[in-house]
């Protein structure tokens, strides 16, 4: 099965339609096929398939502990960094399995960037240095550094706020600015996919709005997958939603996936309806 196969693939709790053609921009399609995850002997996620379309925002929603963060970390090979963790299945980036033979994790993480729940800039490093740090860590030669810094900061809606203090320590920025700096750092590498694990959970409404504006601006060039517990945010920013859930004593999985308007307006599964309406979770 390739990433462009117009077929339905089984997933825990139902079926999903998989990724179609790659967008004309730099965004790439991402597809998980039958993925499962363990921590030691504990199966936490079972047989999950999900297509994440190029140039769109896919939101992962569901109660805590259902495997959303584990799943998103499997999408750029961060799950395997956890001692005792293991996985099964395939993750295809434009049709190529990132876990396939000869695929290097560092190359995968360059093409599939990650922004975490808590901002994690290098606080003593300058704002400018933070933006360029991802490029340096990946061993890439940096040309036109000033242009790269400006472009990435503009994409992250941060340029106007910091352009006159690029050499100041990043630790002096507010929490929302630090999160946008982390987005700029990820974008400087020019990834095809950007994963965001609850990027606004610790931020005020104004900072949240700015990050959502950033997502809307960049999604034509970068496929976005976001984990969020904010149902209003999922409705505002995403094209499609995947609802994860877990039953007591069982591993997590996907209950339902579809266009955001359908998931929130007319879902097929009553559990989805109950969750988005706030009746549990």
In degrees rounded to 5, what are phi and psi of residue 127? Answer: -60, -45
Using CA atoms, how far apart are residues 267 and 12, in angstroms rounded to an integer? 16
H or E segment and range at residue 170: none
* The predicted structure's pLDDT at residue 249: 87
Quick check: 67 and 254 in contact, CB under 8 A?
Answer: no
In a domain, 281, yes or no: no
Q: What is residue 100's predicted lDDT score, i.e. its pLDDT? A: 92
Q: Is the pLDDT confidence value at 8 over 50?
A: no
Helix boundaries (H) for 87-246:
105-111, 127-137, 145-155, 159-162, 175-188, 205-218, 231-237
CATH code: domain of residue 24: 3.40.50.300
Domain ranges, residue 104? 8-276
- Among 159, 148, 160, CA closest to 187: 148
Tell me if 45 sits within 8 A of 252, measured CB to CB.
yes
Closest to 32 measured CA to CA, from 84, 64, 65, 72? 72
182 pLDDT more than 60: yes
Among 16-25, 62-71, 73-82, 163-172, the minimum mean pLDDT is found in: 16-25
CA 25, CA 5: separation in Å to the nearest integer? 20
Residue 30 falls within a domain, yes or no? yes
User: What whole-number percentage of the chain has pLDDT above 70?
Assistant: 90
Query: What distance in Å separates the CA atoms of residue 177 and residue 202, rounded to the nearest whole number?
Result: 12
Q: What pLDDT, on the 0 to 100 scale, is given for residue 199?
A: 94
Distance CA 168, CA 164 (A): 9
What is the value of pTM for the model shown? 0.88
Confidence of residue 23 (pLDDT cuts 50, 70, 90): very low
pLDDT of residue 113: 94
Model pLDDT for residues 241-273, shown as the tens digit of each residue: 999 999 988 999 999 999 999 999 999 999 999
Residue 81 lies in a domain: yes
Q: What is the pLDDT of residues 96-155, one digit of tens each?
A: 999 999 999 988 988 999 999 999 999 999 999 999 998 877 666 777 899 999 999 999
Q: Angle, to 10 degrees, between the axis of helix 175-188 and the axis of helix 127-137?
A: 40
Query: Beta strand pairing status for 223-227 and 57-61?
Result: parallel
Average pLDDT of the residues of the chain: 88
Kindly state whether residue 177 falls inside one of the protein's structural domains.
yes
Whether residue 3 is contained in a domain is answered as no
What is the number of domains present in the chain?
1
Q: Identify the DSSP state of 77.
A: T
Which of 12-16, 190-194, 209-213 has the least mean pLDDT?
Answer: 12-16
- Structural contact between residues 153 and 163, judged by C-beta atoms closer than 8 angstroms: yes
Residue 12 lies in a domain: yes
Residue 202's pLDDT is 85
The answer to whether residue 9 scores a pLDDT higher than 80 is: no
């Amino acid at each position: 099965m390739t990433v462009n196969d117009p077929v339905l693939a089984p997933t825990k709790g139902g079926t999903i339609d998989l990724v179609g053609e790659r967008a004309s921009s730099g965004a790439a399609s991402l597809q998980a096929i039958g993925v499962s995850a363990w921590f030691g002997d504990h199966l936490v996620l079972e047989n999950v398939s999900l297509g994440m379309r190029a140039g769109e925002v896919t939101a992962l929603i569901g109660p805590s502990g259902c495997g959303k963060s584990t799943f998103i970390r499997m999408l750029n090979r961060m799950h395997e960094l956890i001692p005792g963790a293991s996985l099964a299945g395939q993750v295809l980036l434009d049709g190529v399995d990132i876990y396939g033979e000869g695929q290097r994790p560092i190359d995968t993480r360059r093409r599939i960037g990650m922004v975490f729940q808590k901002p994690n800039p290098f606080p003593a490093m300058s704002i400018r240095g933070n933006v360029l740090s991802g490029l340096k860590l990946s061993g890439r030669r940096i040309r036109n550094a000033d242009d790269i810094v400006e472009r990435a900061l503009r994409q992250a809606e941060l340029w106007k706020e910091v352009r006159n203090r690029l050499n100041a320590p990043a630790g002096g920025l507010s929490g929302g600015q630090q999160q946008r700096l982390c987005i700029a750092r990820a974008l400087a590498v020019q990834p095809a996919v950007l994963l965001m694990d609850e990027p606004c959970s610790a931020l005020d409404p104004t900072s949240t709005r700015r990050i959502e504006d950033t997502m809307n601006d960049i999604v034509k060039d970068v496929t976005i997958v976001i984990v969020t517990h904010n149902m209003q945010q999922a409705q505002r920013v995403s094209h499609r939603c995947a609802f994860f859930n877990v039953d007591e004593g069982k591993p997590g999985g996907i209950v339902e996936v579809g266009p955001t308007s359908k998931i929130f307006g007319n879902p097929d599964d009553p559990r989805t309806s109950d969750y988005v309406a706030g009746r549990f979770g």
